[in-house]
Structure 1
Amino acid sequence: MRMVSNAVSQNFARKVAAEGVTVAEWTFMRALFDDEGMAPTALADRMGMTRGAISKLADRLAAKGLIRRDESATDGRGQILSLTPAGRAEVPILARLADANDLDYFGVLSGDEREALDRILKALVDRRGLTVTPAD
């Protein structure tokens, strides 16, 4: 399992690196994609990361022009993180890379095999109570 996991992850990391982001940055951007804006604390909770890790990722993505920080309307000291238009345009590109990466690795399986693997992995997620996608 580890060999497959590492191969899939490393291949995907190379693909997103060609787009100028890391896997953790992609995961951050994907988490913001469905929301107009999110407080760093809420994003940290959603991603299962520390507030410090979120802050570092936000710094990197802001420097790349992919996210912006705005003042919270309800908390003068708080921030709201959101994608810039460039960041919002990049997410579907990265999502296609993720899908292509999955197809590269799992497309060699028959439909029945993919369904069985999906069922087993979902059972592990459920039974282990996994709620966030690791992003390191």
Structure 2
Amino acid sequence: MQGSRQKRKPARSSRRKPVSEVDAHLGYWLRFVSTHVSHAFQMTMEAHGVTVSEWVLLREIYATGPTSATALAARTGMSKGAVSKLLARIEAKALLERETLDADRRHHALALSAAGQALVPELAQLADQNDEAFFGHLPAQVRTALVDVMKNVVAVHGLKNVAAE
């Protein structure tokens, strides 16, 4: 056909940039290990009737003593909504007590119940055992270096949010 122009596809470069393998990325290995460590810990916590996110709040309250939901959200990096839902679940498990601080009932001091106080050290030992199971074979200086590197990545990127289930 006269006057008809066919569009030509650009010629492919004979020198294609090599495509990296998935397992060539540090992020791949961080996620791979993290998934296994987190899953094992999740199963351990759930066997004791709490989720990992609930454990985080229980441990924080144990360390600080009576506190507020707002303070917990700020310290853990969780949203206020997530903290509120988690606290309701913890309270339903009789691990938390609320004390109303003023007449309008909007402000509460959150404290662990006697059952919560007893449970946290037990769960902390299980957390230590989980770390030992995955990282105990590493020399102490390597473990310390890994923690320092992760803290540096958090600081450099300003990471704050913690996933909550």
Common fold by TM > 0.5: yes
Per the alignment, residue 36 of structure 1 pairs with: 65
From 51, 56, 61, the equivalent of 2:85 is 56
From 82, 102, 106, the equivalent of 2:111 is 82
Aligned CA-pair RMSD:
2.0
Gapped regions of structure 2 (runs ≥ 5):
1-29
> Quick check: which one's helix share is greater?
1
The answer as to whether partners of 1:47 and 1:135 remain within 8 angstroms in 2 is no
The structure showing larger relative contact order (alpha-carbon pairs under 8 Å, at least 6 residues apart) is 1
The CA distance in 1 between the partners of 2:141 and 2:105, in whole Å, is 54
The reply to whether residue 109 of structure 1 matches residue 138 of structure 2 is yes
SS of 2:98's partner is strand
Q: Over residues 72-129 of structure 1, what are the superposed CA-to-partner deviations in whole Å (9 max), with x where a residue is unaligned?
A: 1586421111100110111111111111101111112233432332332232233223
SS of 1:92's partner is helix
Q: How does 1:88-127 map to 2 (within 5 A)?
A: 88-127=117-156
One-letter amino acid of the counterpart of residue 53, structure 1: A
Give the TM-score of the pair, scaled to structure 1: 0.88
Q: Over residues 4-52 of structure 1, what are the superposed CA-to-partner deviations in whole Å (9 max), with x where a residue is unaligned?
A: 0111100000111111100010001011112331111111221222222
Q: How far 1:130 moved relative to its partner?
A: 3.7
Which one has a bigger Cα radius of gyration? 2
Give aligned-pair identity as a percent: 43
